[in-house]
Structure 1
Amino acid sequence: MKRVVNGKVFDTGTAKLLSSFYFGSPGDINFIDESLYRTKRGAYFLAGEGGANTKYSRQVDNNSWSGGKAIFPLTIEDALEWAETHDTESEVIERYFKLEKA
């Protein structure tokens, strides 16, 4: 998937896939399939698709919603939070994010 967001090109074909999350079945209103990426320049983004009851929904009529696809740029803090929340392997997190020792 390739999209221009805020004047920047985000392309899943050239970015590094860091982690993925999948829930439900396609066609379900709560279905979600998203992946965390990092560009060669160090920008993070989510690319995914989801049902009508997710952040990927789109309005198709006055009172009707459908699933859709999108790319969302993320701050480094938001990317780290997503990775931690979605059980990304600790090796991936340690490699791409600066962490403090506990």
Structure 2
Amino acid sequence: MKKVICKIEYDTDASELIQKKVFGVFGDPKGYEESLYKTQGGKFFLYGYGGTESPYPEETIKRLAADKVKAWQNS
């Protein structure tokens, strides 16, 4: 998935997958996955998708500040 945020392109295919988290099970409408990526330019972002009742009812990409990465990884 690709998304441009503030003139910066975030692309899951061109970025390094750092970590993935799964919440719930396949088919659970509240279940979802979040994946942490790092771009070639050193920017971090989250890619999320999930069930219709999850925080990610549609595929989305969100920027993640470098100082928030450890907190996300430890949550």
Shorter-chain TM range is: 0.7 to 0.9
Contact 1:32/1:49 (8 A) holds in 2: yes
Unmatched runs of 5 consecutive residues or more in structure 1: 57-66, 86-102
**Could you say which residue in structure 1 is the equivalent of 2:12?**
12
Name the SS of the counterpart of 2:22 in structure 1.
strand
Q: Give deviations 1:21-59, integer Å, cap 9, x for gaps.
A: 012234423211110001111100000102334332xxx
The percentage of counterpart residues that share the same residue type is 33
The structure with higher relative contact order (CA 8 Å, sep 6+) is: 2
* Segment of structure 1 superposing worse, 35-44 or 25-34: 25-34
Closer, same or farther in 2 for the Cα pair 1:6/1:54, shift >3 Å?
Answer: farther
TM-score w.r.t. the length of structure 1 is 0.65
Over the residues paired in the alignment, what is the CA RMSD in angstroms?
Answer: 1.4
Distance (whole Å) between structure 2 residues aligned to residue 6 and residue 53 of structure 1: 28
Q: Give deviations 1:46-81, integer Å, cap 9, x for gaps.
A: 00102334332xxxxxxxxxx211000010122221
User: Which structure has the larger Rg?
Assistant: 1
Q: How many matched pairs?
A: 75
**Could you say which residue in structure 2 is the equivalent of 1:74?**
64
Structure ranking higher in helix proportion: 1
